Amino acid sequence: MKRLILFDVDGTLVWGGPAKDAFTHALVEVYGTTGPVNLVSFAGRTDPQIARELLRKAGLDDARIDEGLPRLWTLYPRELERRLPAKPVTVLAGVRDLLAALEDREDVAMGLVTGNIREGARLKLGSAGLAAAAFPAGGFGCDRESRNHLPAVAVGRAERVWGMRFPPESVVVVGDTPLDVECGRHFGARTFAVATGHFSAAELAAAGADHVATDLTCTRDVVDVLMA
């Protein structure tokens, strides 16, 4: 049975970059406010979820928020692309070796499950020198506002790309936040949590991850767990 491995992006594959600044700049352009950015955690949330929470706290109703979203998703990646050369995204330790090892296997398919809108994910991966083509299928924040629905979106696309079924037991969601773990469990996939973001190994274990690692540097060990 072919294994489908779905990776989160920020905090799992890459780190840093100007996304938050680009996002808040675009919010001001579209809505005239960022909302209370210091009071809302971005970790593990989808871009639409972040925008809605910020703007609700700023006093905007959902109708006004929804009206501006198409323009927001045009301006934000444009601003992100403009800022990335001065503040590029970096690849986390072990990621290149892990992806190379998985790409060499006939029994592995790789995709993404990320709160980023599709273009934001593409720009971040490209800035870090990771080809988006290595992940032919994915579920993105622009597909569903709730992250829990994204694994199903990614799996549906993967089944069309590879022309085969990926039942939940063949899917592994890899991420760095409790919300990554939650979305994988919601779909019925196995979950591999890595403590390279804002959450400790203990917090990820408490969230119910099937396996927790401090990082992705031990390529052979990580592959063994993903393929188990």
Q: What is the pLDDT of residues 184-213, one digit of tens each?
A: 999 999 999 999 999 999 999 999 999 999
- Evaluate if residue 170 carries a pLDDT over 80: yes
For the purposes of burial, counting CB atoms within 10 Å of the CB of 113, is it exposed (0-12), middle (13-18) or buried (19 or more)?
Answer: buried
Q: What does the pLDDT read at residue 132? A: 82
79 shares its domain with 94 = no
141 shares its domain with 216 = yes
123 shares its domain with 176 = yes
Q: Which two tokens stand for residue 97?
A: 């070796």
67 shares its domain with 117 = no
115 shares its domain with 33 = no
Task: Return all residues near 167 (Cβ < 8 A) that are at least 6 apart.
Answer: none
Taking a C-beta distance cutoff of 8 angstroms, is the pair 167, 151 a contact? no
41 shares its domain with 9 = no
Q: Which two tokens stand for residue 113?
A: 């499950």
Task: Please give the residue range of the domain that contains residue 153.
Answer: 3-16+88-227
Cα gap 191→19, rounded to integer Å: 26
Task: Return all residues near 70 (Cβ < 8 A) that are at least 6 apart.
Answer: none
Taking a C-beta distance cutoff of 8 angstroms, is the pair 28, 34 a contact? yes
Q: What does the pLDDT read at residue 41? A: 87
Question: 27: domain CATH number?
Answer: 1.10.150.240
Nearest to 204 by CA among 188, 214, 189, 193: 193
Domain count, the chain: 2
64 shares its domain with 139 = no
Cα gap 72→27, rounded to integer Å: 7
Q: Which two tokens stand for residue 35?
A: 């909302």
- What length is written for the chain? 228
Mean pLDDT over all residues of the chain? 96
Mean pLDDT score, 131-147: 94
Cα gap 123→140, rounded to integer Å: 13
Global confidence as pTM: 0.96
Final residue of a structural domain among 45, 65, 83:
83
- Evaluate if residue 50 carries a pLDDT over 90: yes
Q: Which two tokens stand for residue 54?
A: 């910020």
Final residue of a structural domain among 61, 83, 105:
83
Q: What does the pLDDT read at residue 131? A: 86
124 shares its domain with 210 = yes
144 shares its domain with 213 = yes
Question: 185: domain CATH number?
Answer: 3.40.50.1000
pLDDT band at 168 (very low <50, low <70, confident <90, very high): very high
Q: What does the pLDDT read at residue 28? A: 97
96 shares its domain with 206 = yes
26 shares its domain with 130 = no
- Evaluate if residue 90 carries a pLDDT over 90: yes
Q: What does the pLDDT read at residue 147? A: 96
Q: What does the pLDDT read at residue 104? A: 87
Final residue of a structural domain among 83, 104, 136:
83
Q: What does the pLDDT read at residue 1? A: 74
Q: Which two tokens stand for residue 135?
A: 């992940």
Q: What percent of the chain has pLDDT over 90?
A: 94
Taking a C-beta distance cutoff of 8 angstroms, is the pair 3, 107 a contact? yes
Cα gap 50→54, rounded to integer Å: 6
145 shares its domain with 158 = yes
The number of angstroms, rounded, from the C-alpha of 55 to the middle of its chain's C-alpha atoms is: 22
